[in-house]
């Protein structure tokens, strides 16, 4: 098969004016020009792009974005230019730093019975938004399901995030991760923490698989890695990505201990330790004692009821009767109580940061 070349056509009124701009200012190469006596067409290449600038072409001049590791050293530090032919040139960071928005604190309750819409997202997965406000862009919490199991049409990809959790609440899913060995099966009660930019691929899922996915910040980039093949040849369980380790925590055989609130017990997923306190993820069940009013001082406290029922009471709020599929966010400093838990109550609690204080009120 012969090679195929794609080029973008842009208009111009006078090609002679464009040649020095595209070659000297933007550092592109002039590959072709014709006719010689009165040039009408010039073809330029560079920065992974091929441009055909043609006198009298019908297209709009458009916008050309150039991504570079050194914007200050490109085009004399200009961040926005206009070429003689009218094309706008934007100079941007190739890998801009991750920006974590300031949390817009709010008390949020999202109930399954409210019939929030399921949206078809990436790779055919169905998404239900658990925190519609996104707390000002600081977090996204999604209830994700795949109705029909089997192979998942996914590609090797990674996310530019500060924190990301996948917690399975129903069914199973097979995923393979960079430097973590062969594919792993996540079953109900298990979770993965996907460190920032770890390459991975979803392979196959059972019918009716459901997971909770937490991402910080809410809007983050997913990039496809066309070069990496998974699994990778090396097993490096202690590797860190931006200070975080990959975690595969399984529910079977877990140890249960005291929870931060009386009347409950929990199992720790080790995510607090392996993220160096960026986040903590615990599964909570009913224990001995009587629930009390309490406050916390962490930035984000998210909860999802996986089974059973309880009444979430908040100062100045009507009580909320919660059941399986319901989610909530309790802002720092708000006085609340987890009252009347059923025997089969099980809650997923995610906090960012993972280390914080809880103030209990005397009974």
Q: What is the pLDDT of residues 19-73, one digit of tens each?
A: 999 999 999 999 999 998 899 999 999 999 999 999 999 999 999 999 999 999 9
The domain boundary residue, chosen from 186, 220, 248 = 248
Closest by CA position to 291, among listed 269, 317, 265: 265
Whether residue 104 lies inside any domain: the answer is no
Strand pairing report for 221-224 and 280-286: unpaired
Give yes or no for a contact between 223 and 196, defined as CB atoms under 8 angstroms apart: no
- Please identify every stretch of the chain with a pLDDT value under 50, giving residue numbers as ranges: 1
Whether residue 107 lies inside any domain: the answer is no
Rounding to the nearest 10 degrees, give the CA dihedral for residues 94, 100, 101, 105. Answer: 160
Give yes or no for a contact between 182 and 231, defined as CB atoms under 8 angstroms apart: yes
Verify that 143 and 238 share a domain, yes or no.
yes
**pLDDT at 153 (0 to 100):** 85
Residue carrying the six token digits 């040849």 = 233
**pLDDT at 252 (0 to 100):** 92
Question: What is the tens place of the pLDDT at every residue in 261-288?
Answer: 999 999 999 999 999 999 999 999 999 9
**pLDDT at 117 (0 to 100):** 75
Q: How many domains, in total, are found in the chain?
A: 3
Verify that 119 and 88 share a domain, yes or no.
no
Verify that 88 and 208 share a domain, yes or no.
no
The domain boundary residue, chosen from 199, 225, 248 = 248
Is cis: bond before 353, omega within 30 of 0? yes
Whether residue 101 lies inside any domain: the answer is no
**pLDDT at 250 (0 to 100):** 96
CA–CA gap between residue 243 and residue 279 (Å, rounded): 12
Verify that 244 and 262 share a domain, yes or no.
no
Verify that 199 and 286 share a domain, yes or no.
no
Verify that 232 and 272 share a domain, yes or no.
no
Verify that 233 and 180 share a domain, yes or no.
yes
Verify that 88 and 170 share a domain, yes or no.
no
Verify that 85 and 129 share a domain, yes or no.
no
Verify that 234 and 122 share a domain, yes or no.
yes
**pLDDT at 324 (0 to 100):** 96
CATH number at 57 reads 3.10.180.10
Whether residue 62 lies inside any domain: the answer is yes
CATH number at 229 reads 2.60.120.10
Whether residue 221 lies inside any domain: the answer is yes
Per the structure, the complete domain to which residue 14 belongs is given by: 8-93
Closest by CA position to 330, among listed 314, 319, 353: 314
Residue carrying the six token digits 């012969």 = 2
CB neighbours of residue 86 within 10 Å: 14
> Which residues make Cβ contacts (< 8 Å) with residue 322, sequence separation at least 6?
109, 111, 305, 309, 310, 311, 312, 328
Verify that 61 and 186 share a domain, yes or no.
no
Query: Using CA of residue 20, residue 22, residue 28, residue 33, what is the dihedral sign?
Result: negative
Query: Using CA of residue 105, residue 323, residue 326, residue 251, what is the dihedral sign?
Result: positive
CA–CA gap between residue 180 and residue 200 (Å, rounded): 10
CA–CA gap between residue 203 and residue 26 (Å, rounded): 42
Verify that 71 and 35 share a domain, yes or no.
yes
End-to-end CA distance of the chain: 78
Closest by CA position to 142, among listed 116, 124, 161: 116
């Amino acid at each position: 098969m012969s090679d195929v070349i794609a080029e973008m056509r842009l208009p111009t009124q006078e090609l002679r004016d464009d040649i020095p701009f595209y070659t000297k200012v933007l550092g592109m190469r002039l590959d072709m020009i014709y006719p010689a006596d009165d040039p009408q067409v010039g073809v330029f290449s560079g920065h992974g792009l091929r441009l055909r600038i043609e006198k009298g072409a019908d297209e709009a001049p458009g916008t050309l974005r150039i991504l570079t590791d050194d914007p200050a050293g490109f085009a004399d530090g200009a961040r926005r230019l206009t070429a003689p032919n009218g094309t706008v040139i934007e100079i941007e960071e190739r890998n801009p730093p991750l920006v974590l928005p300031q949390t817009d604190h709010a008390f949020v309750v999202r109930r399954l019975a409210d019939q929030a819409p399921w949206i078809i997202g990436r790779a055919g997965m169905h998404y239900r938004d658990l925190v519609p406000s996104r707390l000002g862009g600081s977090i996204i919490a999604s209830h994700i399901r795949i109705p029909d199991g089997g192979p998942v049409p996914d590609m090797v990809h990674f996310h530019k995030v500060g924190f990301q959790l996948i917690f399975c609440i129903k069914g199973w899913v097979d995923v393979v991760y960079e430097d973590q060995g062969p594919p792993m099966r996540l079953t109900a009660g298990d979770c993965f923490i996907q460190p920032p930019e770890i390459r991975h691929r979803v392979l196959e899922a059972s019918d009716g698989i459901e997971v909770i996915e937490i991402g910080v910040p809410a809007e983050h980039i997913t990039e496809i890695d066309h070069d990496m093949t998974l699994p990778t040849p090396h097993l490096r369980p202690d590797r860190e990505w931006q200070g975080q380790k990959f975690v595969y925590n399984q529910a079977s055989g877990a140890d249960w201990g005291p929870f931060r609130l009386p009347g409950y017990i929990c199992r720790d997923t080790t995510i607090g330790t392996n993220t160096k306190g960026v986040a903590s993820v615990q599964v909570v069940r009913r224990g001995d004692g009587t629930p009390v009013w309490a406050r916390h001082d962490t930035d984000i406290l998210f909860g999802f009821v996986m089974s059973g029922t309880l009444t979430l009471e908040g100062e100045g709020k009507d009580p909320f009767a919660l059941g399986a599929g319901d989610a909530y966010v309790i802002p720092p400093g708000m006085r609340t109580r987890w009252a009347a838990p059923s025997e089969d109550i099980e809650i997923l609690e995610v906090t960012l940061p993972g280390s914080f204080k809880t103030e209990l009120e005397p009974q």
